[in-house]
Amino acid sequence: MSGALGISALLLLLAIGVPIGVAMGLVGLVGMTLLIGFEPALIKSSVVLFEAVSRYELGVLPLFLLMAHLCFAAGASRDFFAAAAGLVGHRRGGLALATIAGCAGFGAVSGSSLATAATMGLIGLPEMRKRGYSTALATGSVAAGGTLGSLTPPSGALIVFGIIAEQSIGKLFTAAIIPALTQTLFYMATVIVVCRWRPGIAPASPRLPWKERIASLVRVLDLAAVVGLVLCGIALGWFTPTEAASVGATLSLALCAWRRRLNRKSLRHALASTLRTTGMLYVVIVGALIFAVFMSFTGLAQQIASFMQAFQGQPIVAIIAIAVLLLLLGSVLDGLALMLLTTPILLPIVTGLGLSPIWFGIFLVRTMEIGFVHPPIGINLYVIQGIAPDIPLARVFKGVLPFLAADFLHLALLIFVPALALWLPHWLS
């Protein structure tokens, strides 16, 4: 009862615009006060605050953010798009394919869906419109491609999940590699199918000479090497995620200097942007951890888990029910709120059903990604419309529909074939 009341209060506070971290922390603190008394609730919450801000593992967040901002400063987004456009841009729908490939490459350095959609939108969208692409396909490919930023490791969403769920961030990153690759392939297949069905919506562009194509590929080699080293280092156990993030940030700083893009202004901007976003994430994580402690006192997760015992023989049914619940919640809550609200409740249920928490992290982020492109929230759709205000929102949504279908197919694949996420970490271990 107290758990359900707490969730209702949280949803109300979120709806009236209370900052997410504050809403979770406040509900957690008040809820604990009612359950265990004011003094223990206050002490417990304050212990959570100090432990969170002094936690070694949380250092991974600002360091990966700094790496992303330094890669921006080095011109990563334009280079990734140029390399992909050079390779496939001359084919029918090639620029849409290049946008998706660019999103996958850039998503690996940005770790964020919104940043990937906004950045690739600024680069890919004008190019596609100039070449006569349908506005629906152009905006749809950018909006959907942008979601790759959340899953492609190193991903901010997976770091936050790892901290809240107390799971290995390295394992989560390794587990996300194949789902992110297959998601990219699903989106590319969608573009190919749509272009075969209606060839007029994406005319072919002139073919670039091989010399230029190779030059554009060479330009991203250093960036790809940094990302590759960070991911390989984590996957092969050369360093911890926090160490990987510091190596990545240091190399990105060196890369910026190597490319002559490092100056006082760009470094200051990278640091200031990193600090501003880091503060937002710390408040959210502290609030979520206080809320999670409150949830553990309510016993709500155990009650739902005992109800879920009915599905013991068929966890797939339970997972489909959870997926539907997440998709419904994802249509009214933004991705971060969805993850932080549901993780303390759903994780014990999922592990109770005998499923891997690492798999659940990937599944949760994948579901969250779908929320980025489906209305009424669909934040990526609004980002794209902000970049191209002359394109109506309905047109952007129409463009994203085929990609949404691909998303649902991919989610189903992830549910029915958990090895998609679990095989690589298992094999590497």
Partner 1 sequence: MDPVADSPEEPVKEIAMPRSLFYLGSAGLLTVMIVEAIAVAGRHLRYPLLGALEIVQAAIVPTACAAMVITTLCQAHAIVHLLLDRLPQPLRGWTRRAGWFAAGVLFAALCTGEVWLTGDFWNSFEETDVLHIPLQPLRILVTVTAGLLAAIFFHRAARAERA
CB of 166 to partner 1, least distance (A): 18
| Chain residues 247-306 in contact with partner 1, contact rule CB under 8 A | 247, 249-250, 253, 265-266, 268-269, 271-284, 287
Task: Tell me the C-alpha distance between 214 and 199, whole Å.
Answer: 28
Q: Residues 6 or more apart from 144 whose CB is under 8 A from it?
A: 100, 187, 190, 373, 380, 400, 403, 404, 406, 407
With vertex at residue 60, the alpha carbon angle to CA 340 and CA 357, rounded to the nearest 5 degrees, is 45
Contact code string over 394-423 relative to partner 1, x by CB under 8 A? ------------------------------
In the bound state with partner 1, the residue whose beta carbon lies nearer, of 275 and 324, is 275
| Chain residues 74-93 in contact with partner 1, contact rule CB under 8 A | 77-78
- Contact region with partner 1 (CB under 8 A), list: 86-94, 133-141, 246-254, 395-403: 246-254
| Chain residues 1-30 in contact with partner 1, contact rule CB under 8 A | 13-23, 25-26, 29
| Chain residues 105-144 in contact with partner 1, contact rule CB under 8 A | 110-115, 118-119, 122-123
- Alpha-helix residue ranges (DSSP H) falling in 198-263: 210-235, 241-258
* Phi, psi angle pair for 237, to nearest 5°: 75, 20
If one asks whether residue 96 binds partner 1 (CB under 8 A), the answer comes out as no
In the bound state with partner 1, the residue whose beta carbon lies nearer, of 279 and 392, is 279
| Chain residues 174-233 in contact with partner 1, contact rule CB under 8 A | none
- Contact region with partner 1 (CB under 8 A), list: 65-73, 82-90, 178-186, 188-196: 65-73
CB of 149 to partner 1, least distance (A): 8
| 8 Å CB contact between 115 and 383 | no
Tokens of 429: 């271990």
Pick the binder of partner 1 from 4, 8, 37, 50 (CB under 8 A). Answer: 50
Q: Residues 6 or more apart from 46 whose CB is under 8 A from it?
A: none
Pick the binder of partner 1 from 6, 102, 335, 399 (CB under 8 A). Answer: 335
| Chain residues 352-371 in contact with partner 1, contact rule CB under 8 A | 368
| 8 Å CB contact between 399 and 137 | yes
